[in-house]
Amino acid sequence: MTAITALMAFVLWTIVLALSYATYRVPVILAGRQRADHWERNSSDAVDDPPILQRSKAAHMNCVENLPLFAAVVLAGVASGQSAVVDALAAYVFYARLVQSIAHLIGTSFVLISVRATFFLIQIGLIAYMALTLMG
């Protein structure tokens, strides 16, 4: 998997997570069970959503927070002619993101939170290593 392919996979995974809770909310709105602005007005962060949807939203936001870092490093590597640096590790960033997100979706036990934290640190470590390598 090239770095660009890994980046696009990360983007698509982020979209899948966004759709996972949006596809629940849209029918709820269309059926008239909630107003469209319900989730904006609800200061308790939509605790009336089922727990899986709350975790899905959190996993999506985790992706949104880290996608710019990953994209910047991948694009810097490609633009500077150093794609070999990012090609070697980018897929592992994406795989670590998948594991982190899946653990997030499964639940909130101590073990799952530890798995999430571990795979988050793997991602950040790989991104930092690629950035430092690109800097020379």
Q: Can you spell out the DSSP letters for 24-93?
A: HHHHHHHTTSS-TTHHHH-TT-STTS-HHHHHHHHHHHHHHHHHHHHHHHHHHHHHTT-HHHHHTTHHHH
Question: CA-CA distance, 18 to 15, in Å (whole number)?
Answer: 5
Q: How far is CA 59 from CA 54, 98, 135, in A?
A: 9, 10, 30
How crowded is the C-beta side of 91, counted as CA atoms within 13 Å?
6
**In the predicted model, is pLDDT for residue 43 greater than 60?**
no
pLDDT band at 80 (very low <50, low <70, confident <90, very high): very high
- When the pLDDT of each residue in the chain is averaged and rounded to a whole number, the result is 92
pLDDT band at 50 (very low <50, low <70, confident <90, very high): confident
| Domains located in the chain, CATH noted | 3-135 (1.20.120.550)
Mean pLDDT of 50-69: 93
Does this model's pTM top 0.85? My answer is yes
